[in-house]
C-alpha cells in the first residue's frame, strides 16, 4: 500500500442471504483512493453504491477480499476496534440527517468528540472547536437551536461539522445532497469542496452529475462491479466538467 494511499480495496465481495438465496451485492471490487482526493461513486439504483460505502468504511462486514484504511486491514479488526476507528479517524454524512432530538445543534456536533479519547481537552475546548467549525460553515446563528428549528441545508452543514469534529482522515458521504433543493445542495457541495481543498479526503455516493462534477474522479458501478472510472479536470469550468461527465455516463449506459 502506497504511503499516499488512504484507502485500498482489493477483490471486495459482499453477499447477503435472503430467504436462503444468495444475493451478491458486490463482486470483486478493486480500487484505491489517495490522500486529498474527492471521489464520487455513481451507478443505477440497486447497483451497490451504498453497500460499497458502508463496507469500505467498516459499517458493514465484507464477505471476501480486503480493505485497508490508513494501512490497517479492516478484516483483522474486531467490532470495538472498528467502532473506535470510525469514531476517531472517519467522518460520516448521510442523506437522512440523523441527529439526537434531545440535543441542541452544537451538542450534536461535539458529541463524537465527547465520546472519543482521541484528544485530551476540556469540554470548553471541545465546545470552542465545535463553534469554530460552525463559524467556518456559516451556521453560527443556529448554535443553540433544536434540530427541528433549522432548514435542511443548515442541518446538513451541521452534519458536516459533526463529521469533522474529530479531525478525520477521511469523510464518507452517502447522498449528502439527496434530500436538499438545488440551492442547499450547491451550498453543501461548496463546503465539501472547501474541506477537500484543505486536504480532507472524501468518498461520496451520488446520483447527481452536477455533484459528481465537483469531484476529482468518478467510479461507475453496475451490478456490484466497477465498470469504469472517469477523471475530472478540475481546471475546467463546472459546466464543461458536467457536460463531459454526462457524455461519459451516457456511454456507460447511465
How many secondary structure helices (H) and strands (E) does the chain include? Answer: 8, 10
Residue 51 has pLDDT above 70, yes or no: yes
Q: What is the DSSP string of 81-126?
A: HHHHHHHHHEEEEESS----TTS-HHHHHHHHHHH--SS---HHHH
**3-class SS at 179?**
coil
For residue 179 the three cell numbers come to: 434530500
CA distance 75 to 68: 9
Query: Could you state, in order of their start, the residue ranges of all structural domains in the chain?
Result: 5-251
Q: Which helix (H) or strand (E) holds 159?
A: helix 152-164
Nearest in space to 229 (alpha carbons), one of 64, 88, 29, 71: 29
Place of cell 467549525: 133
Per-chain mean pLDDT for the chain:
93
Fold of 5-251: Rossmann fold (3.40.50)
Model confidence band, residue 2 (pLDDT cutoffs 50, 70, 90): low
CB burial of residue 22 (10 Å; 0-12, 13-18, 19+): exposed
Structure confidence by residue, pLDDT tens digits, 162-178: 999 999 999 999 999 88
DSSP β-ladder status, 21-34 and 5-18: antiparallel
pLDDT digits (tens, 9 = 90+) for 120-178: 889 999 999 999 999 988 999 999 999 999 998 999 999 999 999 999 999 999 999 88
Q: What is the pLDDT of residue 97?
A: 79
Burial 116-125 (b: 16+ CB within 10 A, else e): eebeeeeeee
Rounded to two decimals, what is the model's pTM? 0.93
**Integer Cα distance of 212 and 216 in angstroms:** 8
**Under a CB-based contact definition with an 8 Å cutoff, are residues 177 and 119 in contact?**
no
Q: Is 43 helix (H, G, I), strand (E, B) or coil?
A: coil
CB 232 within 8 A of CB 241: yes
Instruction: Let me know the angle formed at the C-alpha of 142 by 137 and 147, rounded to the nearest 5 degrees.
Output: 105
Strand partners, 229: 219
Amino acid at each position: 500500500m502506497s504511503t499516499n494511499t488512504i484507502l485500498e480495496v482489493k477483490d471486495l465481495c459482499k453477499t447477503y442471504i435472503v430467504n436462503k438465496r444468495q444475493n451478491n451485492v458486490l463482486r470483486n471490487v478493486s480500487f484505491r483512493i489517495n490522500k486529498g482526493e474527492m471521489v464520487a461513486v455513481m451507478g443505477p439504483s440497486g447497483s451497490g453504491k451504498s453497500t460499497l460505502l458502508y463496507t469500505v468504511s467498516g459499517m458493514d462486514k465484507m464477505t471476501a477480499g480486503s480493505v485497508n484504511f490508513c494501512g490497517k486491514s479492516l478484516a483483522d479488526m474486531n467490532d470495538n476496534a472498528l467502532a473506535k476507528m470510525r469514531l476517531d479517524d472517519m467522518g460520516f454524512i448521510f442523506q437522512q440527517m440523523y441527529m439526537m432530538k434531545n440535543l441542541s445543534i452544537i451538542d450534536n456536533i461535539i458529541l463524537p468528540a465527547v465520546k472519543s479519547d482521541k484528544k485530551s481537552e476540556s469540554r470548553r475546548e471541545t465546545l470552542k472547536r465545535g463553534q469554530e467549525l460552525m463559524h467556518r460553515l456559516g451556521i453560527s446563528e443556529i448554535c443553540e437551536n433544536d434540530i427541528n428549528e433549522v432548514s435542511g441545508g443548515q442541518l446538513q452543514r451541521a452534519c458536516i461539522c459533526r463529521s469533522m469534529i474529530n479531525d478525520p482522515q477521511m469523510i464518507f458521504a452517502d447522498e449528502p445532497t439527496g434530500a436538499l433543493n438545488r440551492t442547499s445542495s450547491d451550498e453543501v457541495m461548496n463546503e465539501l469542496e472547501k474541506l477537500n481543498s484543505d486536504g480532507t479526503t472524501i468518498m461520496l455516493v451520488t446520483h447527481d452529475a452536477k455533484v459528481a462534477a465537483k469531484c476529482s474522479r468518478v467510479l461507475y458501478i453496475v451490478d456490484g462491479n466497477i465498470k469504469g472510472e472517469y477523471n475530472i479536470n478540475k481546471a475546467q469550468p463546472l459546466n464543461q466538467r458536467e457536460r463531459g461527465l454526462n457524455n461519459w455516463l451516457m456511454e456507460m449506459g447511465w
